[in-house]
């Protein structure tokens, strides 16, 4: 594609902002809830803000924080958080064709902003579409700006206004609704659907396992299922 026909990076950036902004409706309540939980479990505003800014990993943050509060060893809490976020390794691998040749400084912030919603938007944009890497970087940055921004801001607001936010009815539904909205459009083939079903089943069956180890089992089972079925599909052409 010639540069004459390529839109300006600033234009593409705002397209990303446009596509990412609707997710504020789901990410915002999720982040508020984390801020409330963090404050209730004893984290200061600075600790909550630091945690959310450095990590930006909602489900992993919830799992880690709750395990630490339950007295689990740090190794178990950190291991669970990493297991919950193992999907990011798969996300990264699927983005290599689009960003693999980018300079390290760009790949660093791409990795930092790699959350479910940004990944889903990027993949929907890039698949089957030829465009310069500069445009891809601009779109990714635009999509990440409102999503990551509202996560950090709402976490801080939730921690600051703990008692008020906790009283909002239905706020706890933000977590499952967010993941349903993200995951459902991505279940386009047999491997992804099977991986989701196996992970969900194992999570339910392992709900009573100690130290939230059912989450580890579910994450591992889902990834193995998806990888095996995807390998078989590729082997058979």
Residues 52-91: tens digit of each pLDDT = 998 888 878 887 887 887 788 888 888 888 877 887 888 8
How far apart are alpha carbons 48 and 46 in whole angstroms? 6
How far apart are alpha carbons 96 and 111 in whole angstroms? 11
pLDDT at position 50 is 92
Task: For CA atoms 85, 145, 176, 62, give the dihedral sign.
Answer: positive
Among 152, 153, 132, 118, residue whose Cα is nearest residue 17: 118
pTM of the complete model: 0.72
pLDDT, tens only, 14-65: 999 999 999 998 888 888 888 888 888 888 999 999 999 988 888 788 878 8
pLDDT band at 4 (very low <50, low <70, confident <90, very high): very low
How far apart are alpha carbons 50 and 65 in whole angstroms? 13
Residue that is written with structure tokens 């580890």 in the block: 216
Do 102 and 133 meet the contact criterion of CB atoms below 8 Å apart?
yes
Task: For CA atoms 215, 118, 191, 90, give the dihedral sign.
Answer: negative
End-to-end CA distance of the chain: 29
């Amino acid at each position: 594609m010639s540069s004459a026909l390529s839109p300006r990076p600033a234009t593409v950036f705002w397209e990303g902002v446009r596509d990412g902004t609707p997710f504020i409706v789901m990410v915002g309540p999720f982040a508020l809830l984390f801020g409330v939980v963090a404050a209730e479990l004893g984290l200061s505003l600075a600790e909550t803000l630091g945690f959310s800014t450095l990590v930006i990993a909602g489900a992993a943050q919830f799992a880690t924080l709750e395990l630490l509060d339950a007295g689990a060893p740090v190794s178990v809490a950190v291991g669970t958080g990493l297991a919950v976020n193992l999907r990011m390794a798969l996300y990264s691998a699927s983005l290599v064709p689009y960003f693999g040749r980018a300079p390290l400084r760009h790949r660093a912030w791409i990795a930092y902003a790699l959350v479910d919603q940004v990944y889903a938007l990027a993949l929907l944009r890039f698949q089957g579409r030829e465009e310069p890497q500069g445009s891809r970087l601009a779109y990714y940055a635009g999509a990440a700006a409102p999503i990551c921004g509202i996560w950090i801001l709402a976490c801080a607001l939730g921690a600051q206004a703990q008692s008020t936010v906790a009283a909002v009815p239905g706020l706890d539904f933000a977590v499952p609704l967010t993941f349903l909205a993200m995951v459902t459009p991505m279940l386009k083939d047999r491997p992804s659907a099977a991986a989701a079903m196996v992970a969900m089943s194992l999570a339910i069956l392992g709900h009573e396992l100690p130290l939230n180890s059912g989450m580890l089992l579910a994450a591992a089972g889902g990834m193995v299922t998806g990888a095996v079925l995807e390998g078989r599909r590729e082997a058979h052409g």
